[in-house]
Each structure stands twice: as C-alpha cells, then as structure tokens.
Amino acid sequence: MKYVDYKRIPIKHSDPEERVRTLDMRTLVPYTLEEVVAESSRCLGCGLCIQGCPARIDVPGYQIAMANGNIEDGLRINFEKLPFVEVCGNVCPHPCEDYCILDDNKGSIATRHIKRFISENIADYREVLKVDVQDLGGHPNVAVVGGGPAGLTVAFYLSINGIKVDVYEATDKPGGVMVHGIPAFRLPRDIIEKEAKHILSYGSRIFYKTKVGKDIPFEKLMTDYSAVYLAVGNWKPTRTRIEGESLGGVYHALEFLYRVNSGEKIDVGEKVVIIGGGFTAYDAARISLRLGAKKVAMLYRRSEIDRPGYPSSNADEELEEAKEENVLFEWEASPFEYTGRDGRVNGLKYWKNQMVDTGKGRRQPVPIKDREYFLEADTIIEATGQREDLSFIPQEIMDKLKTAPNGDLLVNQYNMTSYPGIFAGGDITNKRKDIISGVADSGRASMGILIYLKELGKIKRVPQRLTNYEGGPYSTTYYEMLEKEVESILPDSPEVKN
C-alpha cells in the first residue's frame, strides 16, 4: 500500500555565487512534473487557503487537477480569477500558504511553485482556455488609466465580455511595476510579454507613451468613455528628507529599479547601503550585488520580527534568499545623516533604536541618541515607500473623490469611487499593495463596471461570472452575481469603504 508523504517537497535554489553574476538568472529551480504531482497530492481540500487569497482563487481545485497531472484544467481554474498565472507563479506573496492547515505541521502546500509549473508548461493560453467571448447586448467603451497588473486585469475581463477597452500607459511597454519595478531575476520579461500579449489579444487597445493629464486630458476620458478605471499604481517616492539626501549616489529605490530595469548600468561602487526592510529593499539590495557591489547592507529601523510582511512564509523566503547572497542586515537602526565628499556620498551616520510597546498596535522604534554609528557607502538607496500621484485628475473632480488619510482612494464593494463612473483599484486603493490584491480589486471592479453599464442602458445584461469557457465552469468559487444581488452600485447606495 502506498501512502502520501505529507512533508512539503522542497524547492531547489540555484547557486547563489553563480546567480549574483547576472541580472537574469532565476533564484528558484522549478518543480518537475513528478514533484508537482507529489506536492499537490498533499492537499487535504479543506479550502482554508481560499480565504487567504485576495482573489479567492480555487486553490484546492487546481491542486486536485495537478495531483492527477491535468495541467490544462489547472490553468483554467486559475484563469477564473487570475489572468497573470505565470507572473504570480513567480512573484506572488502567496498569503494562501499561510492559511494552509498543514502550515504548522509538514509545511503548507507550495501553491506558487505549482502555479509556476502550470503556466510554464502551456505556451498558448488561448488554445487551452477557449474563452467564450460574451455579447451582453452592447459594446460600450471603457478607459483604463495604467497598463500594470490591475489595469490589464480589468482589460481582460471586460474585453472577454464584449466591452471595448482602451488602456492608457505612460511608458513604452505594458506591465507597470512588473516590468519597471521587479528585477528580471525574479520575474523574467518574456513572462510579462507572454501574459500581456494574451490579455490584449481579446481586443483591448493600449496607447503607449500616453500620459493622462499631459498627452490627453482626464476630462476627455470622462466624456468619451462610459466608465473610467484608475490603476496608476504608486510611483511617487517617499523620501527620508535627512541631511545629505541630495548627494550624488543617493537614490530612491523606485528610481534605481526603474533605471536598471530599463537597461541602464549604474555604477554602485563596492559598498551599498539600503534604507528600508520591505520587499522593494530586498530587490534593491540583491540587484546591487548583480551590478558589482562587494558589500551590501540593509538598515531597517525596526527589529527582524517587526519587519514588513512578517510573519509570513513569503517574508521568510525573501530573507533566506538575501542571506544566501550574503546581504548584511542591521536591524533597529535609524540613519540621520548622509556624509559625502566633493558632492558624492561616502557614508552615513545612524542611531540604534529601542523597540517600544506603546500599547497602540505595532511596536515603535525609539532612537538611542547617546551614541552614533557610521557605515561607509559608495551608494545609498532609500527603499522608504511610495504613494499615489493623482495630480492628473482635475481639482473639481478630486474634490468629489473620497480619500483615506494616507491619500488612497476610497471605493465601495465593486471598487467604484465616490464619483459616479470612476472606478479604481490596485495600489491606490488597497492596503496590501501587491499584484494579487490588484488583480482581486480588478475582478470586483470589472463586475461593478458591467453593473454600472447596465444601469446606464449601455448593455442589456450582466453575466453571472466574468469568465466563460466552452466546457466550463471549472471552479466553484468564481465571481458569481446572482440576480437578487444586481442592485444599484452608485456611490450613494452602499457605504463607501477602503
């Protein structure tokens, strides 16, 4: 009798000494088919993972498919909620795994690695999916501002439901943060190209190098389109504003990653210091090694157990991979001055912090200023956060858009803002600010836009689910819209929430 081995199948890592010599060598070695079948067979089918997934993907469904070696059904089940299967198979923070019932025992199901195997082994999505494009009794047009994961997800779900979609992208390629922010060694560019090309193959148009508010007025979108979806991401850097920030060799991580991902070879010198402890900080640190740095240190103001994303398996993986490459960590440290010579940075001064429990949530770092510390640095990269830039929206419209204290747009359950016809999703609306959450926002927004178009009389009906297959559905957890739920979604109906 053969029994299932409930111990998680470990994923192999490429040699760290070899991978830091190139900008595009992958860190993780993909599962084989045999490993995927063995790993998927561990799934108990309890469904707790679905609650952990922002997009509510039917994770047990595609585990069952893969336990039986059915790659095509595995893809179809994912596509019920996720048009970026291979992207998320590489960079999803996989919160679903933290909900897995096996997480505290033999190790959670490796959902991300399985998703990667599925997508890598299907070259032509259209041939497998056979999506049945719907005719809802009208073909109104919708404008999408931003060609990143959130914007392209809305483009996909609306276009396969017969809606004409125009995407306005400020840069020269689709992908947003996927192509301009995430390094190629984590997310190869051919993956983004493959999945963006598939999404656009259903009829959406994309206008590159077209910045809304500069190349085309936002007011024109409001008059020429039945609805507008804002998916511009967070591209406005948050700086430390400490002395010496204007010295040469001091970058914000957004600028640094954008330039490197655009092909620029930045001379970082031998010693690089990263300010910050989030995932962008890890990307900046690891890419600095690949640019020739001999010593890279990350300074973060909080403790290791208070770092962003912790506790989670994804945070542990990020730390493990960075340590494999000999990234150094200085926890509980606050820089207060960048030093320089002849206009170029050469180091930084910092204090050590004490973590204090104030009784109001997260522990706070308090600098101990009776002693100063110094680190030499040829380059300093501030990975200290970013926020939205909505300056392209006219003030008379902004005045009617409700926002959170941090500037994020407030939306209702269908991601409509407080201004009728303007929907929003991705980093400008949700707290997680990751790709899978942006996809989830866009799934809700797609259904909301369809309901709104029906209210306007632009279409005759709203589909029960966003994705229809010739032989589907394959998942039991798709976005479902029962007739009794199709009510008004104008902003004054439901309570606007973040």
Cα(236)–Cα(405) distance, rounded to whole angstroms?
16
- Helix, strand, or coil here: 10? coil
Cα(30)–Cα(103) distance, rounded to whole angstroms?
21
Cα(361)–Cα(253) distance, rounded to whole angstroms?
28
Asked if the model's pLDDT at residue 253 lies above 90, the reply is yes
Q: At what angle do helices 149-159 and 435-455 cross, to 10 degrees?
A: 40
Which region among 210-219, 354-363, 406-415, 470-479 has the lowest average model confidence (pLDDT)?
Answer: 470-479
Task: Report the pLDDT value the prediction gives residue 484, as an integer from 0 to 100.
Answer: 41
Task: Report the pLDDT value the prediction gives residue 468, as an integer from 0 to 100.
Answer: 82
Nearest to 182 by CA among 465, 461, 435, 409: 435
Asked if the model's pLDDT at residue 495 lies above 50, the reply is no
Which CATH number fits the domain 12-129, given the four candidates 3.40.640.10, 2.30.29.30, 3.40.430.10, 1.10.1060.10?
A: 1.10.1060.10
Tokens 């990350």 sit at which residue? 298
Task: Report the pLDDT value the prediction gives residue 105, as an integer from 0 to 100.
Answer: 77
369: tokens are 């200023």
Tokens 């402890």 sit at which residue? 277
Pairing of strands 295-300, 328-331: parallel
237-385 and 141-235+388-468 share a CATH fold = yes
82: tokens are 């996720």
242: tokens are 């400490």
Task: Report the pLDDT value the prediction gives residue 3, as an integer from 0 to 100.
Answer: 63
Cα(212)–Cα(453) distance, rounded to whole angstroms?
23
Task: Report the pLDDT value the prediction gives residue 351, as an integer from 0 to 100.
Answer: 98
Asked if the model's pLDDT at residue 49 lies above 70, the reply is yes
Q: How many CB atoms lie within 10 A of CB 134?
A: 17
Asked if the model's pLDDT at residue 402 lies above 60, the reply is yes
Cα(84)–Cα(88) distance, rounded to whole angstroms?
6
Nearest to 80 by CA among 484, 488, 465: 465
For the domain bounded by 141-235+388-468, which CATH number is listed?
3.50.50.60
pLDDT tens digit sequence for 173-208: 999 999 999 999 999 999 999 999 999 999 999 999
Asked if the model's pLDDT at residue 98 lies above 90, the reply is yes
Alpha helices in 208-346 (DSSP H): 218-224, 253-261, 279-290, 313-324
Task: Report the pLDDT value the prediction gives residue 489, as an integer from 0 to 100.
Answer: 56
Cα(90)–Cα(312) distance, rounded to whole angstroms?
17
482: tokens are 């029962």
Cα(329)–Cα(304) distance, rounded to whole angstroms?
9
Return the H-helix or E-strand segment holding 440. helix 435-455
Nearest to 375 by CA among 349, 352, 341, 354: 349
Confidence of residue 321 (pLDDT cuts 50, 70, 90): very high
pLDDT tens digit sequence for 2-31: 566 689 999 999 999 999 999 999 999 999
Confidence of residue 232 (pLDDT cuts 50, 70, 90): very high
Return the H-helix or E-strand segment holding 368. strand 364-376
Tokens 């989830």 sit at which residue? 440
95: which residues sit within 8 A by CB, 6+ positions away? Answer: 52, 53, 54, 312, 314, 436
Asked if the model's pLDDT at residue 496 lies above 90, the reply is no
pLDDT tens digit sequence for 140-178: 999 999 999 999 999 999 999 999 999 999 999 999 999
Cα(439)–Cα(449) distance, rounded to whole angstroms?
15
Task: Report the pLDDT value the prediction gives residue 480, as an integer from 0 to 100.
Answer: 43
What phi, psi does 51 have (nearest 5°)?
-70, -25
Residue ranges covered by each domain of the chain: 12-129, 141-235+388-468, 237-385
- Considering the chain, what percentage of its residues have pLDDT values greater than 90? 90
Confidence of residue 473 (pLDDT cuts 50, 70, 90): low
Q: How many CB atoms lie within 10 A of CB 7?
A: 12
Return the H-helix or E-strand segment holding 283. helix 279-290
Phi/psi region, residue 330 (left: phi>0; alpha: psi -120 to 50; beta: rest), is beta
254: which residues sit within 8 A by CB, 6+ positions away? Answer: 181, 235, 237, 280, 386
Give the bridge partners for 272, in sequence order. Answer: 296, 379
pLDDT, the chain, mean: 93
More confident residue, 323 or 479: 323
pLDDT tens digit sequence for 332-382: 999 999 999 999 999 999 999 999 999 888 899 999 999 999 999 999 999
- The CATH fold of domain 237-385: FAD/NAD(P)-binding domain (3.50.50)
Asked if the model's pLDDT at residue 36 lies above 60, the reply is yes
Which region among 33-37, 235-239, 249-253, 357-361 has the lowest average model confidence (pLDDT)?
Answer: 357-361
Tokens 């077209």 sit at which residue? 210
Task: Report the pLDDT value the prediction gives residue 106, as an integer from 0 to 100.
Answer: 86
